[in-house]
Amino acid sequence: MTTYRAQVRVWLKPSVFDPQGNAVEKALLTLGFAGIEEVRIGKSMEFLVTADNQESAEAMVDRACRDVLCNPVMEMYTFTLEARQEA
Partner 1 sequence: MKWAVIVFPGSNCDEDAQQAIIRVTGDEATLVWHQETSLADYDAIVLPGGFSYGDYLRSGAIARFAPIMKAVRDKAVQGTPIIGICNGFQVLTEAHLLPGALLRNRDLHFHCKMVELRVETNRSPFTAAYQPGDILRIPIAHGEGRYFADSAILHELQEDHRVAFRYVDNPNGSSESIAGILSKERNVLGLMPHPERAVADFMRSTDGAGVFRSIHQYVTEREGAHAH
Partner 2 sequence: MHTEPTAEQIEREGIYRSLGLTDAEYAQVVEKLGRLPNYLETGLFGVLWSEHCSYKSSRIHLKKFPTDGPQVLQGPGENAGVVDIGDGIGIAFKMESHNHPSAVEPYQGAATGVGGILRDIFTMGARPIAFLNSLRFGPLDDAHTRYLFGNVVAGIGGYGNCVGIPTIGGEAVFDPSYRHNPLVNAMCVGQLPADRIVKGAASGVGNPVFVVGSRTGRDGIHGATFASAEDPHAKERSAVQVGDPFLGKLLMEACLELMATGAVVGIQDMGAAGLTSSSAEMASRAGGGIEMMLDRVPCREAGMTPYEMMLSESQERMLVVMEKGKEELAFQILRKWDLQVAEVGRVTDDGRLRLYFHDEVVADVPVRLLVDEAPVYDREIAAVYEPPGAHVALPPDPVNYQLELEKLLAHPSIAKKQWIYHQYDTSVRASTVFGPGYDAALVLVPDSEKLVAMASDGNGRYVYLNPRVGGAIAVAEACRNVVAAGGVPLAITNCLNFGNPEKPEVMYQFSQAIEGMSEACRALSAPVVSGNVSFYNETGGEDIYPTPVVGVVGVVEDSQLATPSEFSEAGLAVYLVGNLSDGLEGSLYWQMKAQQAAGDAPSFDLATEVKVQRFVQRAIREVGITAAHDISEGGLAVALVEMVEETAPIGMTVSLPAGFQLPGVLFGEAQSRFLIAAQASKENMLQDLAFTLHTPLLRLGETNTSGELVISIDGESSPAIQANLHELKKIYTSALENNMNQSWR
- Residues in the site for partner 2, rule: CB under 8 A? 12-13, 15-19, 22-24, 26-27, 30-31, 68, 71, 73-74
CB of 40 to a copy of itself, least distance (A): 5
Q: Is 59 in the site for a copy of itself (CB under 8 A)?
A: no
Helix (H, G, I), strand (E, B) or coil at 60: helix
Nearer to partner 1, 66 or 84 (CB): 66
The most distant pair of C-alpha atoms in the chain lies apart, rounded to whole Å, by 51
* CA distance linking residue 69 with residue 6, whole number of Å: 13
CA distances from 1 to 15, 47, 49, 53, 56 (A): 41, 16, 10, 7, 10
Query: In terms of Cα–Cα distance, which of 76, 39, 57 is closest to 3?
Result: 57
Q: Is 76 in the site for partner 1 (CB under 8 A)?
A: no
Nearer to partner 1, 29 or 51 (CB): 29
Give the residues lining the site for a copy of itself (CB under 8 A): 6, 9-11, 21, 24-25, 27-28, 31, 33, 35-51, 60, 63-64, 67-69
